Amino acid sequence: MTHPDFLWRDPDPKPAYDVVIVGGGGHGLATAHYLARDHGITDVAVLEMGWLAGGNMARNTTIIRSNYLWDESAALYEHSLKLWEGLSDELGYDLQFSQRGVLNLAHTLGDVREGRRRVNANRLNGVDAEWLDAAEVAEFCPIVNVSGNARYPVLGGTLQRRGGIAKHDHVAWALARKADACGIDLIQGCEVTGFEIAHGRVRAVETTRGRIAAGKVALAAAGHTSVLAAKAGLRLPLQSHPLQALVSELLEPVLGCVVMSNAVHVYVSQAHKGELVMGAGIDPYNSYGQRGAFHVIEAQMAAALELFPIFSRARVLRTWAGIVDVSPDASPIIGRTPVDGLYVNAGWGTGGFKATPGAGWVYAHTIARDEPHPLAEPFALDRFTSGALVDEHGAAAVAH
């Protein structure tokens, strides 16, 4: 892989910007990119408290798919997947986007029913989806154990062939490079410590690198959204949890697709470099520690070996955790807030990576026009009051 010779500047913050994006992860960078590309807004700063894209963007298992159950979610994630399909070209950077297929296994009769239901909904929503029986699963992914002697035998699975993986760092760097080239300031090591709000409207952010005036402020801080929102006087329906992942050592190609199983809590793919990349369910408690409990990993390995006996001798090289902001209905929160000029894009929980371009796209629109993008409308905060939740626990609960 050859990277470009230059990626981004390391500027000091200016005193004021039209738009300040808080959070230099995938969503923040994508938002900056689409603000510039689609809305001509380039007087933008992206403030990152650590290193660029060093949060969940650097920690996720890079699975991309759009096979969500409800119309609202399918529309948003499918829009994102379509953007992915042109993103390497658009950004002029090899994102190693590989549409190798995402298999979602069913282990109980209930899984089968829900899997079929989702496949049918997806197809009617223009999302590619297929139902495979156990034999077809084995044909598509020969190393999956579909024998009846597994503790929870594989009864079938859904397949989204257009789903796959991409190289997370490349995505972040490609977006950063584009934004930087448009004159957008990517400012690292700059933590937002407060908001200046007058007459119900945000005026500036206070940061560890001084006050920065802002016409509009857009939160894109994933697991830290609640902490920021609290500084602006807002309480959001979000809880931050550790989400663990791990990689094996480099292996010769053995797994050509993405395999997920909600029932036994596993998802796995093999990265281009050769390592198996795996994830588990979230740790149940609130934490900002970027680390989880080891028994979660142990349980995940036991589950993985039920599906993939061949992995028995593969070795775990490294485990880690991100901080995911989980919403009550496992769907994101995108839109305006009670503070004028302050926007929120959060609650992506375990599934933010796949939404990177789509979220940036609709968020940029929402910020630029001060009204929700139609795809984002169902994901506004007021759904928690009306009860019109977009409950994607079935599609997102454990696996992403």
Partner 1 sequence: MMLLDCPFCGPRDENEFRYGGQAGVAYPANPAGLSDEDWAAYLFVRDNPRGWFRERWFHALGCRTWFTVERHTVTHEIRKAP
Partner 2 sequence: MSRLPSGGLIDRSVTLPFRFDGRPLHGHPGDTLASALLASGVRVAGRSVNLGRPRGIFTAGPEEPNALVRIGADPMLPATAVELHAGLEAWSLRGKGRLDPSAPDERRCDKGYLHCEVLVVGGGPAGLAAALAAGESGVRVILVDDQPRLGGDLLGSRVRLDGAPALDWVASAESRLAALPEVRVFTRTTAIGCYDHGYVVAVERRPRGERLWHFRAGRVVLATGAHERSLPFPGNDLPGVMLAAAARTYVNRYGVRPGNRAVVYACADSGYEAARDLAAAGVEIAAVVDPRSGGEVVTGTVTGTVTGTVPGGDGTLAAVLIGDRRVEADLLAVAGGWNPAVHLFGQAQGRLRFDDTLRAFVPAGPARTVTPVGACRGLYSTAQAIEDGYRSSLTEFRVPESDEEVLRAPAAYWGELDPDPTAFVDLQRDVTVADVAKATGAGMRSVEHVKRFTTASTGADQGKTSGALVVGVLSELLGAAPGEVGTTTFRPPYTPVSFATLAGRDRGALSDPVRTTAMHGAHLARGAVFEDVGQWKRPRYFPRDGETMTEAVRRECAAARTAVAAMDASTLGKIDIRGADAGAFLDRIYTNVFSTLPVGACRYGLMCTADGMVFDDGTTSRLGERHYLMTTTTGNAAAVLDWLEEWHQTEWPSLDVRFTSVTDHWATVVVAGPRARTVIAAVAPGALGLAFMRCAETGVLGVPGRVFRISFSGEPAYEVNVPWPYGRALWETVLDLGAVPYGTETMHVLRAEKGFPIVGQETDGTVTPQDLGMAWIVSRRKPDFVGKRSHARPDTARTGRKRLVGLLTEDPSVCVEEGAQLVPEGERGPMLGHVTSSYPSVALGRSIGLALARDVRPGDRLTAISGDTATPVRVVSPVFYDPDNLRRDGDPADDAAVRVPPGIRGRAESPGAAFAERFEAAGGKRVREVAFVPIWEVRGEDPGTGMRLGPDWWLVTGEAEPEPGWVDVSGQRTVIEITGPGALDVLVTGCPIDLHPSVFTGHAQTLLGKAPVIIQRFGDGYRVYVRSSYTNYVGEWLIDALEG
Is the Cβ of residue 186 or residue 238 nearer to partner 1 in the bound state?
Answer: 238
Q: How many chain residues touch partner 1 (CB under 8 A)?
A: 23
| CB 318 to partner 2: min, Å | 5
Residues 88-127 that bind partner 2 (CB under 8 A): 107-110, 112-121, 123-125
Options 1, 15, 148, 295; binder of partner 1; rule CB under 8 A: 295
Q: In what order do the strands lie in the sheet with 102-106?
A: 130-133, 156-160, 102-106, 258-261, 266-270, 275-282
Options 143, 181, 182, 213; binder of partner 2; rule CB under 8 A: 143
Q: How far apart are CA 175 and CA 186, in angstroms?
A: 11
Is the Cβ of residue 42 or residue 131 nearer to partner 2 in the bound state?
Answer: 131
Residue 197 DSSP SS3: strand
**Of 107-115, 134-142, 158-166, 220-228, which segment contacts partner 1 by CB under 8 A?**
220-228
Q: How far apart are CA 32 and CA 280, in angstroms?
A: 31
Map residues 46-85 to x or -, x wherever contact with partner 2 holds by CB under 8 A.
----xxx-x---x------------x--------------
Q: How far apart are CA 68 and CA 71, in angstroms?
A: 8
Is the Cβ of residue 151 or residue 235 nearer to partner 1 in the bound state?
Answer: 235
Q: How far apart are CA 288 and CA 349, in angstroms?
A: 14
DSSP state of 5: S
Is the Cβ of residue 110 or residue 200 nearer to partner 2 in the bound state?
Answer: 110
Which pair of structure tokens corresponds to residue 362?
Answer: 């609709």
> For 366, phi and psi rounded to 5 degrees?
-60, -40
Residues 2-41 that bind partner 2 (CB under 8 A): 3-10
Which pair of structure tokens corresponds to residue 376?
Answer: 């984002």
Options 199, 235, 313, 315; binder of partner 1; rule CB under 8 A: 235
Contact (CB, 8 A) for 283 and 360: no
Residue 135 touches which member of partner 1, partner 2, none, C-beta under 5-8 Å by kind: none
| CB 63 to partner 1: min, Å | 25
Q: How many chain residues touch partner 2 (CB under 8 A)?
A: 82
Q: How far apart are CA 107 and CA 43, in angstroms?
A: 51
Strand partners, 266: 261
| CB 206 to partner 1: min, Å | 17
Contact (CB, 8 A) for 75 and 121: no
Residues 241-280 that bind partner 2 (CB under 8 A): 248-252, 254, 273-274
| CB 175 to partner 1: min, Å | 26
Residues 147, 151, 157, 160, CA torsion sign: negative
Which amino acid, 62? T
Options 170, 224, 265, 365; binder of partner 1; rule CB under 8 A: 224
3-state secondary structure 94-162: CCCCECCCEEEEECCHHHHHHHHHHHHHHHHCCCCCEEEEHHHHHHHCCCCCCCCCCCCCCCEEEEECC
Which pair of structure tokens corresponds to residue 155?
Answer: 């009864």
| CB 361 to partner 1: min, Å | 27
Contact (CB, 8 A) for 145 and 306: yes
**Of 39-47, 197-205, 219-227, 250-258, which segment contacts partner 1 by CB under 8 A?**
219-227
| CB 342 to partner 2: min, Å | 25
Angle at 148 between CA 143 and CA 153, to 5 degrees: 70
Is the Cβ of residue 137 or residue 398 nearer to partner 1 in the bound state?
Answer: 398
Residues 301-360 that bind partner 1 (CB under 8 A): 328
Residues 278-307 that bind partner 2 (CB under 8 A): 289-291, 293-294, 297-299, 301-306
By CB under 8 A, is residue 293 in contact with partner 1? yes
DSSP notation for 214-231: EEEEEE--GGGHHHHHHH
Is the Cβ of residue 138 or residue 293 nearer to partner 2 in the bound state?
Answer: 293
Is the Cβ of residue 175 or residue 333 nearer to partner 1 in the bound state?
Answer: 333
| CB 154 to partner 2: min, Å | 12
Other C-beta atoms lying within 10 Å of the C-beta of residue 135: 10
By CB under 8 A, is residue 244 in contact with partner 1? no
In the complex, which residues of this chain contact partner 1 (CB under 8 A)? 224, 226-227, 230, 235-240, 284-289, 293-295, 328, 384-386
